[in-house]
Structure 1
Amino acid sequence: MNFRVEKDLLGEKEVEASSYFGINTERALENFNLQNKTINLNLVKEIALIKKAAALVNKDLGELKIEKADAIIKASEEVIGGKFDNQFKLSAFQGGAGTSTNMNVNEVIANRAIEILGGEKGNYSLVHPLNDVNMSQSTNDVYPTALRIAAIRRIRKLSSCLSDLQEELQVKENDFSDILKLGRTQLMDALPMMVGQGFGAYAKAIARDRWRIYKVEERLREINIGGTAIGTGLNATNKFIYKITDVLQDLTGLGIARSDYPMDVTQNCDVFVEVSGLLKSLACNLLKISNDLRLLNSGPFGGIGEIILPKVQAGSTIMPGKVNPVIAEMVAQVSMRVISNDTAITMASSSGQLELNAFTPLIAECLLESLELLERTVTLFREKCINGIKVNEENCKKNLENSTALVTALVHYIGYDKASELAKKALKNHKTIREILYEEKILPKEKIDEIINPYQLTKPGIPGK
């Protein structure tokens, strides 16, 4: 294996000759050798986009020679396109507020630009990772800006996926609008309802999540690029600061804007907590819905068994014929992960000190993971679970008729105490409420049938009137 020697503040170090990253990344690989998840490539590509924007601006301002700037721009585009994904191996969890990630991108772009200019990797006299690729920038304005752009892109995709899920739930609301079932409170028999009404309630919850997540993009549009190290803009000219925001708007197609107080955006991460909080709200709804579906699907003979979830894979290595609600279980686990990510983001954001938050890598990893997981999970939930749900109408009817739920309709006519007495009698004698009412002859048979008509009991008003 061939090596090249590079040096930095701490001394010299060998770097594999074929590597596009350099000494800073090499040290970080050793220092953060956690052998776990690597840095999010969507974040890497947004950092590379900022490097391209900076090179375009510095070229326009005459700060970078045309040939050098063009090489940096081309190298940045290649990173954005995924050509060098294997060069970004750093752990997602790293000290330095993201400096190692920024340097990883700087070095890969610099060494690729050197190649484009005909030089050999490591010859930083041609293109320097800091002097040229990182010109007029700091990790502390590049990293938060890249994270905001990456988050906005994922938010838009997630919002679209939620819209599709909401629509599918509304389809089920309509499809099952005339099928009666037993409603339950605290897992105990309650009142009759339509199967479709349950799906309508789910659709309303997801609609709220979709709208909240769609709107929260606005919070992320304010960027601090040009603020450099602490937000004062040292080493970045006013022309650069204004131009790079315009260029990023053009490159991303997003409505991002320069912060009027970059120091705020540099040190305060509460916006990420706000976004994560809304993702947690979505996770709570998905967890509740998925657990409801598992309960209603339970059985098929020893449980509730009122709905039938699509069968997607065999469920047991020892029990032949068993099929588990694996998609709903996956949704529940992802939801739990998002909720735990929100806790990490909250702690990391509140742990920032003075002019910088050193824990932005944790915020970035957790936020982007939550967004990416939810986007894919919502799609799979819709395609592999919600879309194929069927109703076991026989079980729905049996559970409703065998319950004491219908007795509630009589309260207006015979009072709560008498209704309770009838319910107790029905349970003791293993009879339906209808059978007990016929036997007791408290009301005429025609009136009884009119009052305990389950279809009336799913609507507002007093049944039989």
Structure 2
Amino acid sequence: MKYRVDTDSLGEVRIPSDAYYGAFTGRAIQQYHVTGKKSHKHLIAAYVMIKRSAAVANIRTRAIDRKRGQAIIKACDIILAGKHHDQFVIEEINSGAGTAFNMNSNEVICNIALEVLGKKKGQYDVLHPNDHVNMSQSSNDTFPTAMHVAILLNLKETLPAVDILIKSLAKKAKEFSGFKKIGRTHLMDALPVTLGSEFAAYATSITKARNAVSAATKELELVALGGTAVGNGANTPKGYRNIAISELAKISGLHLKPEKDMQYSLQSKFAVANASSSIRNLAIELNKIANDIRLMASGPIAGLSEIGIPAVHAGSSIMPGKVNPSLAECLNMICFAIIGNDTAVANAAQGGQFELNVMLPGMLKAVLDSTDMLKNFLPIFSKNLIDGLTANEERLKQNIEKSPVIVTLLAPKIGYQKSAELFKESLKTGKTIRELVVSKNLMTASQVDALFK
């Protein structure tokens, strides 16, 4: 492999000659081996859009000459068109405050811009990663801004996946509306409901959780760009901040606005923690639904067997014909991971000190991982499990007929004490409540039917 020699404040570093990154990144890739994965596509896009927007603002405020500024803009456009993403070699979890990723971005953009200018990689006397690409910026304001942008971009893909599930649950609620079933509280028989009303409640819970996630995006739309190192905007020209954020909003398609208190935007990670907790709450609701489906589908002989689940693959490598609620189990595991990710975010959000929270990369990875799992799996869960559920009408009817708990409906007519006696007698003799009430002349058959309806 051929190499070139790049120089930074610590000295010389050998860099592969075809690499667009430079000395800082060359040192950093020797340190940050964490997940073995490269950074998320939306983090790369967010950072490049930030650098482009900063270059536009620097040109307009005359902080940088047009020739250099336009070369930076052109380099960013080349990356945003899909080229050189492999040069962003720093993982999402890297140095505190994401300095390593910021510098990876600065160096890649700088060396592409040098080629735009007809120069060679590493000719930093012409265009410099820090002096020009990072002009009017710090890792401390660009990474928090990139966090917000990357999460917002991922949520734009995640919320439609949640909407698919809501639609599937609502459709199934309508389809199951005529199927009466025994309700359950404390896992014990309770008053009858319909299978449809159960699924309608699921659709309601996911809709409410989805709306809470959407509401959390409002705080994410307020960004730190322009705060530089400690939130006081040091080393930025007048007017830079508003121009840069306006450009970033335009190129990202997001409703971004300056956070009024820039020091707060570097100190606090409330917006990210708030978004993460709303995603966790969505996972909690999803978890409950997955558990219910697994219980209702249990059997087919020794379980509840109230619903049938579609077979997506053989359920067992040893028991022929077995069908498992595999997709519901997968959703459970996704939800467990999301809850864990939120715990990591919560710990990182309170782990900052004074003017900067340096735990940004870990927080970002956790939220992006959570939203990636939801956007990837929920459409599959909806189509291949929820849409294919069937009602076991015969089992549902038998459960209602046999359960003594429906005596509750007769209690206002015959009293609580007498109803409790009938409950016990039904369990002991196997006779239904209907049979006992009519045989004891407590009510006529037509009166019982009227109550049960």
Q: TM-score range with shorter-chain normalisation?
A: over 0.9
In the alignment, which residue of structure 2 is the partner of 1:154?
154
Deviation at 1:94, TM superposition (A): 2.0
- Report SS of the residue matched to 2:406: helix
Deviation readout 1:306-346 (Å, 9 max, x if unpaired)? 11122211121111111211111111111111111111111
Cα 1:347/1:35, change in 2 over 3 Å:
closer
- Report SS of the residue matched to 1:234: coil
In the alignment, which residue of structure 2 is the partner of 1:378?
378
- Report SS of the residue matched to 2:30: helix
Instruction: Trace 1:315-330 onto structure 2 (pairs within 5 A).
Output: 315-330=315-330
Instruction: Trace 1:16-415 onto structure 2 (pairs within 5 A).
Output: 16-415=16-415
Check conservation: 1:156, 1:214, Cα contact below 8 A: no
Range with bigger deviation, 139-148 or 255-264: 255-264
Check conservation: 2:216, 2:271, Cα contact below 8 A: no
Deviation readout 1:333-383 (Å, 9 max, x if unpaired)? 111111111111111010100111110111111112222222223322222
Deviation readout 1:97-117 (Å, 9 max, x if unpaired)? 100010111111111122222
Range with bigger deviation, 350-359 or 309-318: 309-318
Check conservation: 1:7, 1:13, Cα contact below 8 A: yes
Aligned length: 453
Q: Give the aligned CA root-mean-square deviation in angstroms.
A: 1.7
Check conservation: 1:42, 1:150, Cα contact below 8 A: yes
Deviation at 1:127, TM superposition (A): 2.3
Range with bigger deviation, 324-333 or 353-362: 324-333
* Amino acid corresponding to residue 151 of structure 2 in structure 1: A
Deviation readout 1:358-411 (Å, 9 max, x if unpaired)? 101111111122222222233222222222211111111112212112211111
- Report SS of the residue matched to 1:97: helix
Distance 2:96 2:210 in 1: 35
* Amino acid corresponding to residue 286 of structure 2 in structure 1: L
Distance 2:163 2:144 in 1: 28
Range with bigger deviation, 207-216 or 96-105: 207-216
Distance 2:273 2:144 in 1: 14
Deviation at 1:38, TM superposition (A): 3.2
In the alignment, which residue of structure 2 is the partner of 1:6?
6
* Amino acid corresponding to residue 256 of structure 1 in structure 2: L
In the alignment, which residue of structure 2 is the partner of 1:461?
none
Distance 2:54 2:422 in 1: 79
Check conservation: 2:63, 2:237, Cα contact below 8 A: no
Deviation at 1:188, TM superposition (A): 1.0
Deviation at 1:248, TM superposition (A): 1.5
* Amino acid corresponding to residue 179 of structure 2 in structure 1: I
Distance 1:63 1:413 in 2: 85
Distance 1:427 1:267 in 2: 63
Identity of aligned residues (%): 37
TM-score, L = length of structure 2: 0.96
Deviation at 1:35, TM superposition (A): 4.5
* Amino acid corresponding to residue 109 of structure 1 in structure 2: I
TM-score, L = length of structure 1: 0.93
The answer for unaligned runs of 5 or more in structure 2 is: none
Distance 1:15 1:258 in 2: 38
* Amino acid corresponding to residue 397 of structure 1 in structure 2: K
Check conservation: 1:166, 1:207, Cα contact below 8 A: yes
In the alignment, which residue of structure 2 is the partner of 1:460?
none
Deviation at 1:44, TM superposition (A): 1.6
Deviation readout 1:389-438 (Å, 9 max, x if unpaired)? 11111111112212112211111122222212212111112232223333
Distance 1:180 1:44 in 2: 52
- Report SS of the residue matched to 2:7: strand
Deviation readout 1:64-103 (Å, 9 max, x if unpaired)? 3333322221221232233222222323222221000101
* Amino acid corresponding to residue 247 of structure 1 in structure 2: E
Check conservation: 1:44, 1:101, Cα contact below 8 A: no
* Amino acid corresponding to residue 272 of structure 1 in structure 2: V
Deviation at 1:233, TM superposition (A): 0.9
Deviation at 1:261, TM superposition (A): 1.8
The answer for unaligned runs of 5 or more in structure 1 is: 457-465
* Amino acid corresponding to residue 424 of structure 1 in structure 2: K
* Amino acid corresponding to residue 86 of structure 1 in structure 2: D
Check conservation: 1:46, 1:80, Cα contact below 8 A: no
Distance 2:153 2:41 in 1: 13
Deviation at 1:154, TM superposition (A): 2.5
* Amino acid corresponding to residue 200 of structure 2 in structure 1: G
Distance 1:93 1:56 in 2: 29
* Amino acid corresponding to residue 356 of structure 2 in structure 1: L
Deviation readout 1:1-60 (Å, 9 max, x if unpaired)? 111112222222211111111111121111112343432221121010011111222233
